[in-house]
Amino acid sequence: MRPLGDFWRRFRRNRAAAAAAALLALVILVAIFGPLVYATSPFEMVGAPYSMPFGDFPLGTDVSGRDILAGIVHGAGVSLLIGVISAFTATTVGVAVGALAGYYGGVIDDVLMRTTEFFLTIPSFVLALVLVAIFSPSVTSVTAAIAIVSWPSMARLVRGEFIAQRGQLYVQACRALGMRDFEVILFQILPNALPPVVVVASLTVATAILTESGLSFLGLSDPNVVTWGYMIGVARTALFVAPWMIAVPGLAILATVLAINLVGEGLNDALNPALRER
């Protein structure tokens, strides 16, 4: 328990990160329990269109008379789910590619890194947009597209960590003891390369949420699922008439992404050995 206690102590030193963690925990609670507490359907037309906040509805209604608060509550889970699953998938693929390239080097490194660089040459949002447009927009296709454009940066990071570690004495000792390559990669080098991976993975969640919001704004989202980006896209025609329709989901995205970024900085401070004594 001592390492966990030390980690939490170092993390709490960054007050902004601690406050962001509390905000992120609140968003997660809303995503999990919000639809149970506030059961109004985000697709149900419950009132007159363009109703202002703090009237009959706490956050007003959109252009079709749907409850904006219901959209925020129900959309939180979908937005977070897309961000977490796509980040997890991208991290898994990136770690696998980077670990193999960094550990073996040579031809394997050349092939894997040239493939990675090919994906990096294409603007990530444009590639995601093309992939979603090719396949019918859905939660699955959006999640897969975001994962596909997110793994290359993780792969390069992990490759660098493995290159730095593979020549260390403990790795040579493991080889001398007869440990197989996958054991050295998984149980020896990867745990030492994990801190920066955790930090970048958390930031990938924030990037995924922003990417999903951009795709939804352009209409490339599942029409049967409400997300915060979808709400902004629906309300874009009423920007000057009813700005709160865009402001509310926009602030939700801003707060969540900012909280994730600050938590990522806090994780970096807590896990980076060079910063532990500050």
> What b/e sequence results for 24-39 when a residue is b if at least 16 CB atoms lie within 10 Å of its CB, and e otherwise?
beebeebbeebbeebe
Average pLDDT along the chain:
88
Residue 45 per-residue DSSP state: B
Q: Given this model, what pLDDT does residue 11 score?
A: 80
Q: Given this model, what pLDDT does residue 216 score?
A: 86
For residues 274 and 270, which has the higher predicted lDDT (pLDDT)? Answer: 270
Q: Given this model, what pLDDT does residue 1 score?
A: 47
Residue 265 to residue 129: CA distance in whole angstroms: 29
Mean pLDDT of 58-76: 91
> pLDDT tens digits, residue range 8-18?
777 888 888 89
Q: Given this model, what pLDDT does residue 254 score?
A: 92
Residue 113, pLDDT above cutoff 80 = yes
For residues 266 and 3, which has the higher predicted lDDT (pLDDT)? Answer: 266
Which of these, 192, 252, 254, 277, lies nearest to 68 by C-alpha position? Answer: 252
| Contact status, residue 260 vs residue 182, Cβ threshold 8 Å | no
Q: Given this model, what pLDDT does residue 273 score?
A: 55
Residue 277, pLDDT above cutoff 80 = no
* Helices and strands in the chain, H and E counts: 11, 0
Confidence of residue 19 (pLDDT cuts 50, 70, 90): very high
Q: Which residues share a beta bridge with 61?
A: 67
Residue 56: CB atoms within 10 A of its CB come to: 12
Mean pLDDT of 67-96: 93
The radius of gyration computed from the CA coordinates of the chain, to the nearest angstrom, equals 22
Mean pLDDT of 34-43: 89
Residues in the chain, how many?
278
| Contact status, residue 71 vs residue 45, Cβ threshold 8 Å | no
Mean pLDDT of 98-124: 92
Q: Give me 230's structure tokens.
A: 């979808």
Residue 271, pLDDT above cutoff 80 = no
Which architecture does CATH list for 2-48+55-275? Answer: Orthogonal Bundle (1.10)
Residue 3 to residue 74: CA distance in whole angstroms: 37
The residue ranges of every structural domain in the chain are: 2-48+55-275
Q: Give me 68's structure tokens.
A: 């904006």
Residue 103, pLDDT above cutoff 50 = yes
Percent of the chain with pLDDT over 70: 96
Confidence of residue 4 (pLDDT cuts 50, 70, 90): low
Residue 275, pLDDT above cutoff 60 = no
Give the CA distances from residue 211 to residues 4, 95, 218, 219, 237, in Å, rounded to whole numbers and listed in that order: 33, 21, 11, 13, 21
> pLDDT tens digits, residue range 131-176?
998 888 888 999 999 999 999 999 999 999 999 888 888 888 988 8
Q: Give me 12's structure tokens.
A: 């709490």
- Biggest CA-to-CA distance, the chain: 74
Q: Return the amino acid letter for 81.
A: L
Nearby residues of 44 by Cβ (< 8 Å), 6 or more positions away:
66, 67, 70
Give the CA distances from residue 123 to residues 102, 128, 262, in Å, rounded to whole numbers and listed in that order: 25, 9, 25
Residue 226, pLDDT above cutoff 60 = yes
Q: Give me 94's structure tokens.
A: 């990136």
Sign of the CA dihedral running 95, 99, 105, 106: negative
